[in-house]
Structure 1
Amino acid sequence: MTLLRRLGLPLAALLLAFGLIGLGVWQVQRLAWKQHLIAAVDSRKDAAPISAAGPDQWATLSPEQDVYRRVTATGVFRHDQSVLVQAVTERGGGFWVMTPLDIGRYRIFINRGFVPPEKAKPASRAEGDVTDTVTVTGLMRFSEPKGGFLRDNDPAADRWFSRDIAAMAKAKAVTHAAPYFIDADATPNAGGYPIGGMTVVTFTNNHLVYALTWFGLAGIAFFFAWMLWRSPRRQDNVHK
């Protein structure tokens, strides 16, 4: 057996093993990043609320640093510019009620909470005529562009599957809209709807399982490399 044939398969198995180790190391790094993210989000959402960011701070906001930060804002709801975004929740299917909060110089879309289909029309909810100044406390979220899974937003038909702030602001002529929205907390709304405080804060964290899988496959690849290396040598010994 030529040297090339003897070394080719073991070397290929070794290269595969090292590649799998690289994937395992990458997953370990992702695990550390995810654990840091979870810890940071937990500290933000449970902290005392701070004032929602104004225009002078918008350029510095980022999902990595600010998502799920607990904030508060005071203004007047513009119910005539509300958007209903389809939602599937623990209460079943329905809509998120996204209403701009007019703060004066700018507006912030507030996810005021969930309504079932029979409460979708403003006339069916007591809050439809509210014009008083209100203070909203909740979690900062960031725009969800374009649409949901396999379903694009259709602004012309007023059908929304994701909370795309820029598109909603354009469709409803909301000027100076913040690049984020606020998921309102569970403070009851007039008449009981919308139902706030339904934000689900979860992060999948399977990186350790993935890392162990890649390292396990690397071990198998190393074993096959060793077997492939020994097999021609055993054959040569037999023929001597």
Structure 2
Amino acid sequence: MSESKQNIRQSGLGKSFFVGFLLLCMILFLALGFWQLDRLQWKEQLIASANDRLNAERMDIPSKAAWADLDPDTFDFQKVRMTGQFLDCCEARVFISLPKKRDRYSGPGYWIVTPFELAEGGVVYVNRGFAPQELTLPKAEYARAPQGELTLEGYMRRPERVGSATLEPDLAKQVDWVINPARLNEILFPELEDVAPFYVNLSSPTANDLPQAPDEAALNFTNRHLEYAFTWFGLAALMPILAIFWLIRTRRPRQELAKSKTED
């Protein structure tokens, strides 16, 4: 085979490979776009069901016997009331940086999470509210949890997810990075027993003397799945355009190569 024929064949194989690669990218981007549309539907259903629970009648907190069968998708944001007392043995500080919105406080600080022993048995971690960093460490200058039997109102939350990027807690300062009852119980407060698989954001003013209460408006879920879907579909549409543009750009050199072959 002459050198010119080999060059033409290699050029054709290269083009086929590159066009095939762009087509595979287009298929991948289309799949990601449709996946984001599925996520959009899921997120809209999640927001609607959470709003329904926040607007529903308040109920007594589930008893300890029912905790093993609870489904986070059905109890998240359920409004509850509970009777019991705060435990003075332990209190966790969970780091958070609040955005600058209409809140009274923003920036770095801590959710103050205190275990609450139910009168019927069992312990529930309660997010009492936010304290800015300057009031929290090195010395706690915020109000302590009140003592004695109390009836509190709040709403149930699913545990925050622990991932590979979650930092290790600071045991000396009792600081963690997520509100996850199982993690808090295992790492910070192993002496507690019968801990609920959920936590409660306090919403009543009772026993809430912290600078800022947990905000029910935190239900403003981020929902950018439609935006992401349009991004992936846009990239998919770009692939055939790139293929056509590239083929046009490479057509002339190939014609010149074929002409050289004819002359030879």
TM-score range, shorter chain: 0.7 to 0.9
Question: Quick one: percent identity of the two aligned structures?
Answer: 27
Aligned position for 1:99 = 114
**1:122–1:128: 8 Å Cα contact kept in structure 2?**
no
Aligned position for 2:3 = none
> How many pairs align?
237
**2:130–2:214: 8 Å Cα contact kept in structure 1?**
no
Q: Does residue 1:168 correspond to 2:184, yes or no?
A: yes
1:56 to 55, 62, 65: 65
Listed as ranges, the gaps of 5+ residues in structure 1 are: none
Aligned position for 2:159 = 143
SS of the residue 2:175 aligns to: coil
Deviation per residue, 1:17-50 (Å, 9 max, x gap): 2222112111111111111112122212222222
CA change 1:23–1:59 in 2 (3 A) is same
Q: Does residue 1:32 correspond to 2:44, yes or no?
A: no
Aligned position for 1:66 = 75
- What is the rounded CA distance, in whole Å, between the counterparts of 1:12 and 1:147 in structure 2? 33
Deviation at 1:183, TM superposition (A): 0.3
CA change 1:197–1:164 in 2 (3 A) is closer
CA change 1:182–1:228 in 2 (3 A) is same
Q: TM-score, normalised by structure 1?
A: 0.79
Q: TM-score, normalised by structure 2?
A: 0.73
Aligned position for 1:207 = 225
**1:155–1:168: 8 Å Cα contact kept in structure 2?**
no
Deviation at 1:182, TM superposition (A): 0.2
SS of the residue 2:230 aligns to: helix
2:89 to 77, 80, 92: 80
Deviation at 1:55, TM superposition (A): 2.6
- What is the rounded CA distance, in whole Å, between the counterparts of 2:88 and 2:212 in structure 1? 16
SS of the residue 1:79 aligns to: coil
Structure 1 window deviating more from structure 2 (30-39 vs 5-14): it is 5-14
One-letter identity of the residue aligned with 2:61: A
CA change 1:226–1:185 in 2 (3 A) is same
Deviation per residue, 1:124-152 (Å, 9 max, x gap): 63x65521x22222121233466997642
1:130 to 144, 147, 158: 147
SS of the residue 1:113 aligns to: strand
Deviation per residue, 1:200-233 (Å, 9 max, x gap): 2232222212211221221221123345566777
Structure 1 window deviating more from structure 2 (106-115 vs 223-232): it is 223-232
Aligned position for 1:196 = 213
Deviation at 1:157, TM superposition (A): 4.6
Q: Does residue 1:12 correspond to 2:27, yes or no?
A: no
Deviation at 1:5, TM superposition (A): 4.7
Aligned position for 1:224 = 242
2:168 to 139, 152, 155: 152
- Over alpha carbons, which structure has the higher Rg? 2
Structure 1 window deviating more from structure 2 (99-108 vs 175-184): it is 99-108
- What is the rounded CA distance, in whole Å, between the counterparts of 1:9 and 1:146 in structure 2? 41
- What is the rounded CA distance, in whole Å, between the counterparts of 1:232 and 1:87 in structure 2? 54
